[in-house]
Amino acid sequence: MVVEKIISFLLNRTWLISKDSQNFFELAPPAIFSLPDDFRLHIPKSLKSFDSERVINNLLEIIAEFYDLTIDDLNVILVNDNTVFKVRVYDEQTKDGRIPLNRFEELVERIRSILSDTASFVIDKSVISTRVPEEVSKYLGLCNFMQTEKGSFVAKIQLPSKEVIKDRELFNPEEIYSEQVNQKLSEVLDFVNKSIFEGDSKVSDEFLLDNESRINIKLFKDIESFFDKANLKNIDFSFHNILNSNIIVNRNITKHKLFKLNQFVEELESHAYEIGEFTFKGKITTLKSKDPDGLKNSVTFAGINDDNRSMIAIANIDSESYKDAIEAHKLKQYIVVTGLAKKTKTRIRFTEITNFNIED
């Protein structure tokens, strides 16, 4: 089983099986390592005829060297099938692998808050939600601090990957797994770094709806506080599991960058949207479909809202409604859509349609 996971780990990182002999798989490395053309990693198909512990340890040492991991990291990834989340801090105080106690306490507490609010975000799926669902404690209870590393200061946390943290419910038939929380945290940290610290994203109604899966006000406040209170200037976040390794590099986190994040959060709060059941009428402006007989057919229509403002609406409709929409567009008729939606001042996006009508 461990051998199979080692092979899976490598194949997911673009190693290739170059030869399949009776006793071994020979794997060729990706070009990024700049190794000789004839370099091969030999992985036995069966450990019965080998000193299995020695063989596995040798393989793990080689792989760990390639991917800047430890044997402990690889055991978490390959044996426990979990994710290793690393937080590497670079500055004068941490260059020898040490960190002042007060900074360490602040770092740990802020990481805990970020993990908690990421899990809440995944469960509630809301930009503005501030509650902490009871399932969050289950997720946090499955996380474990690991042995720290030198090379600046590295805090490591074992994150659960396969556990169900929220069961199916009558009105929410999808289970939520711990790996969804891990992926969401990686996605949000990457968004903050690229779109806010290094970018120039402006909050608008359209931007908010397009990026809602990466935006949660409480979580963003946690991330700002994490950088500010723990006095962090240069930090890497990395996520390692059997499928991939993802590293998010943050450099030179200045007061100006934190101000940009603070301003972004303030703009989000002023653009907060409503979630509920709405009815909206308008004329079709755009029809999109890769498969008109399928379920993912998009219609965009424009009209006037209750405040006499122009509004744009987007809805995904079934194939029959899509065929009706094509005719309505040709005849310049109004369509009326009712359903669960997310609504800002100028945009509305329907997530679940309960009624679709055409008005003459």
Question: Per residue in 111-146, pLDDT tens?
Answer: 999 999 999 999 988 888 888 999 999 999 999 999
Q: What is the mean pLDDT of residues 9-25?
A: 92
What are phi and psi for residue 99, nearest 5 degrees?
-145, 135
Write out the two tokens for 152: 């600046």
CB 354 within 8 A of CB 338: yes
Amino acid at 146: M
How far apart (Å, rounded) are the C-alpha atoms in residues 223 and 184?
14
What local confidence, expressed as pLDDT, does residue 49 receive? 64
Q: Which residue has the tokens 């994040």?
A: 261
% the chain with pLDDT above 90: 62
**CA-to-CA distance for 127 and 344, rounded, in angstroms?**
12
Residue 174 DSSP one-character state: -
Burial grade of 325 (CB within 10 A; 0-12, 13-18, 19 or more): buried
What local confidence, expressed as pLDDT, does residue 89 receive? 93
pLDDT of residue 308: 82
Provide mean pLDDT across the span 269-279: 80
Tally helices (H) and strands (E) across the chain: 10, 15
Domain boundaries, the chain: 2-67, 83-270, 274-359
State the Cα angle at 154 between 150 and 155, rounded to 5°.
Answer: 135
Q: How would you classify the pairing of strands 176-177 and 144-149?
A: unpaired
| pLDDT band at residue 107 using 50, 70 and 90 as cut-offs | very high
Q: Residues 194-238: pLDDT tens digits?
A: 999 999 888 888 888 888 889 999 999 999 999 998 888 899 999
How far is CA 265 from each of CA 127, 202, 222, 269, 281, rounded to the nearest angstrom? 11, 11, 11, 6, 32
Is residue 34 predicted with pLDDT exceeding 90? yes
Please state which CATH number belongs to domain 274-359: 2.40.50.140
Strand partners, 235: 89, 250
Give me the phi and psi of 278, to 5 degrees please. Answer: -135, 160
Return the residue matching tokens 């929410």. 172
Contact call for residues 301 and 282 (beta carbons, < 8 A): yes
Q: What is the DSSP string of 142-168?
A: T-EEEEEETTTEEEEEEE--S-EEE--
Whether the predicted pLDDT of 172 surpasses 70? no
Please tell me the distance from the alpha carbon of residue 210 to that of residue 342, in angstroms, as a whole number.
Answer: 11
CA–CA gap between residue 255 and residue 188 (Å, rounded) = 20
* Cα of 331 vs its chain's centroid, Å: 43
* CA proximity to 30, closest of 44, 46, 11, 43: 11
* Higher-confidence position of 300 and 202: 300
Sign of the Cα pseudo-torsion (97, 98, 102, 108, in order): positive
Distance CA 18, CA 25 (A): 8
